[in-house]
Amino acid sequence: MALPNHRAPLAEQVEQLLAAEGPLPIVAAGDPVLRRPTERFDGQLDPALLARFVEALRITMHAAPGVGVAAPQVGVSLRIAVIEDPAPVPEEVRLLRGRVPQPFRVLVNPSYEGVGEGRAAFFEGCLSVPGYQAVVARHAEVRLTCEDEHGHAVDEVFSGWPARIVQHETDHLDGVLYLDRAELRSLSSNQAMAEYWAQPAPDGAARALGFTLPE
């Protein structure tokens, strides 16, 4: 007697999602899928379907636009995310935040750990929490372990802004939103960001809004 295929529903879900052309709809905060730890990827999607899903994530990320998208953000509870950052920022921002270009990458079953004691605090936002940003203190450097979309092992150290992106997207796969780690007194609308907090560092926001930055 054949065993039931418990993987079929997830593959069917992805097939249905990909039936429509163009960017995938982004799931907003409040949807339970963003608060559930994701299912580890171990072949639930065949290689062709995985490639189509990865491409759809890439298109969605570019269209948003953003520098990363995790599978739960399109409603799929699977431990996969994509990142890419052309880093079109002024030199002052690049130097202060360590924001350097990152090529397109697929993170399959990622996890990270901090390297050293360094922390960095900057405003960040999220496609699933549109219209707002908040200051988050994160590891300044992290070691990422995962596989790529071809099953090849990845073990790499990221620093600066790329480290922040890795942490943000991997957190999504654990059911964690950036607001869970944010200094909530810093929460600002995009309009307020443009009007008050366009500086490369959040020091002025900390003084004016009454929160403390890490040493």
- At residue 196, the 3 state secondary structure works out as helix
Q: Which residues are annotated as a binding site?
A: 126, 168, 172
Q: Which two tokens stand for residue 148?
A: 């790529």
Dihedral sign from CA coordinates of 48, 50, 53, 58: negative
Q: Do residues 178 and 168 lie in contact, with contact meaning Cβ atoms separated by under 8 Å?
A: yes
Q: Which two tokens stand for residue 91?
A: 């030199």
Catalytic residues: 169
* DSSP H or E run through 19: none
Strands 80-85 and 68-70: antiparallel
Please state, in angstroms and rounded to a whole number, the distance separating the CA atoms of residues 161 and 72: 22
Please state, in angstroms and rounded to a whole number, the distance separating the CA atoms of residues 188 and 195: 10
For residue 65, say if its preceding peptide bond is cis, omega within 30 degrees of 0: yes
Return the closest-CA partner of residue 109 out of 169, 33, 34: 169
Q: Which residues are annotated as a binding site for Fe cation?
A: 126, 168, 172
